[in-house]
Structure 1
């Protein structure tokens, strides 16, 4: 039976201090999350001692995880309790309902994503192996995309876990972000799914968010 890979799903985003990203993923996986992407970021500090020492920026890790609604709630509770995210200065966690999502392989869940309201623009995120981001952009451009941003990251998923001397290795990833008009989104998504074989295990994931307001877009 052909599996439907478009699921009722949520994007979990966790922002924690540098070095904790992999621990966040480990806890989430125990609750059923099947993969994650970690990117580097930086936060600002208003603590007086840090200002005195000229330390006003703190390295952060941002963890993105896409999962179904039931698993999302379990992961949210587990992560909040484990990392004390309900207390000040311990991190931030939030979830966003997704408009569309492809590349999630779970035979126990075949429900469609809940569709968000119509918006003029869509944000398309594609996470693929390092050096494949340009291929995604090329595919999207042929389908009508006007531009894209490629972000370096690392991934940890059930189809890509490798070990060296019993230590897990997290492969490098690229996140491709495109903002496009709603009427072009389907053609772009279909082109990327076909050209990058997104629906095959371990080949990447693609998800779509509604964009409320935009400034600076051309075309």
Structure 2
């Protein structure tokens, strides 16, 4: 029997759109996502920890927040950001904030579903990069499997992770494509890893907790432009 080797898009055309709004406004964000044919969203509760003057500057206030994270193609991400700005008046203080983050690496199947196109470059997740910077590896999976992720990640060199809870929401097209139920309680694990170790760590995580496992995990990476507190 051949060992399962996940495939990924090394140069992803997928972006994460992140919207942070007051509690109760997440449904409006999701409605706009649906109108823009975004297939995959994750919603979690949060609370600001910035100082009062920073919260005032951003117009966020101190109320509980909802964080909506959408995965979609680059063009759709720009369009969605424009809709959020106009429909939810995010151009004015106190209406929330939204931004996009390019996804560095992503599984080929999910990349194709979200962008409706083949990735520019696809290969097995077994290459070793030479970049000595850092990336964030994000793992979105069903609740109850975090310890499995962390065991694998630590074994491959990651030092620790941050976990938040979320609720997954997906269109029927996603469920039909993967044959799994996305609309369930989720955990999102964030790992900051060296760029040269990223591919190996993602490979092992996908083997242990990818879409083909009972945890139905989605593994992706996000670039880190700068970081502190990560010295050896």
Interval of TM-score (by shorter of Structure 1 and Structure 2): 0.7 to 0.9
CA contact 1:101–1:206 (8 Å) conserved in 2: yes
Q: Which of these residues, 5, 21, 25, is aligned with residue 26 of structure 2?
A: 21
**Higher helix residue share:** 2
**Which residue pairs with 1:140 in the alignment?**
153
CA contact 1:41–1:59 (8 Å) conserved in 2: yes
CA-to-aligned-CA distance 1:131-171 (integer Å, 9 cap, x gap) = 1222221222222222112111222123469xxxxxxx952
Matched, 1:176 2:189: yes
CA contact 2:112–2:119 (8 Å) conserved in 1: no
Range 203-212 or range 8-17, more displaced: 203-212
**Which residue pairs with 1:83 in the alignment?**
88
**Which residue pairs with 1:70 in the alignment?**
75
Name structure 1 gaps, 5 residues minimum. 47-55, 162-168
Name structure 2 gaps, 5 residues minimum. 1-6, 54-60, 122-129, 177-181
CA contact 2:47–2:62 (8 Å) conserved in 1: yes
CA contact 2:163–2:190 (8 Å) conserved in 1: yes
Runs of 4+ in structure 1 deviating by more than 4 angstroms, as ranges, are none
In the alignment, the residues of structure 2 paired with residue 60 and residue 153 of structure 1 have an alpha-carbon distance, to the nearest angstrom, of 13
In the alignment, the residues of structure 1 paired with residue 85 and residue 16 of structure 2 have an alpha-carbon distance, to the nearest angstrom, of 16
Range 191-200 or range 82-91, more displaced: 191-200
| Cα RMSD, aligned residues only | 3.0
In the alignment, the residues of structure 1 paired with residue 199 and residue 103 of structure 2 have an alpha-carbon distance, to the nearest angstrom, of 15
TM normalised by structure 2 equals: 0.73
Q: Which of these residues, 57, 64, 68, is aligned with residue 62 of structure 2?
A: 57
| TM superposition shift of 1:192 | 1.1
